[in-house]
Amino acid sequence: MQIILWRHAEAEDLAPTDLARNLTLKGRKQAESMAAWLTKQLLDDFGSWRVIASPATRAQQTAAALQMKFETVDSIAPDAAPESVISAARWPDSAFNVIVVGHQPTLGMVAARLMNGVDGYVAVKKGATWWFETRERNGRMETVMKAMTTPESFA
């Protein structure tokens, strides 16, 4: 199974509520740039992927840049527990690979757990993706990082 953790792109600071914050112009460009890269990487394999997104407007707008169907999952809203993201993704046993569009610090905690197997934290830049996959080695399943990239990588 593969999982891509995609932090929402840059969002405006002011809105009536945190969930209502829209992407800025820069954020829309970041989301489009990352979506184009992901599309190129996944090629015609989109059928084996599912996309889940936080209900926050900025995450919804980031996910929409992929131009494919996605599911809104309330349990991965801002400040969700890492376990909520892992559970929503059905990691590592899902029949589908998954792209999770969410928030810091949660995605950083999930990334640390996937990399190290223990609680921790890593910084994830706005609009960045962290791509992990499972593999079998010496009769044991392990998680490896396949890629990490930021929207600035394509500028």
For residue range 90-111, what is the model confidence (pLDDT) as tens digits? 999 999 999 999 999 999 999 9
Number of other CB atoms surrounding residue 57 within 10 Å = 19
Domains contained in the chain, number:
1
Where b means 16+ CB within 10 Å and e means fewer, 94-109 reads eeebbbbbbbbbbbbb
Handedness of CA 61, 62, 64, 70 (dihedral sign): negative
**C-alpha closest to that of 127 among 39, 42, 33:** 33
Mean of pLDDT over the chain: 95
Tell me what percent of the residues of the chain surpass a pLDDT of 90.
Answer: 86
pLDDT tens per residue across span 26-79:
999 999 999 999 999 998 787 889 999 999 999 999 999 999 999 999 999 999
145 pLDDT tier (thresholds 50, 70, 90): very high
Confidence band, pLDDT 50/70/90 cuts, at residue 87:
very high
**Token pair in block for residue 94:** 């899902």
Mean pLDDT of the region 138-146: 91
Looking at residue 82, what is its pLDDT? 97
Domain interval for residue 125: 2-154
Q: For position 86, which CATH number holds?
A: 3.40.50.1240
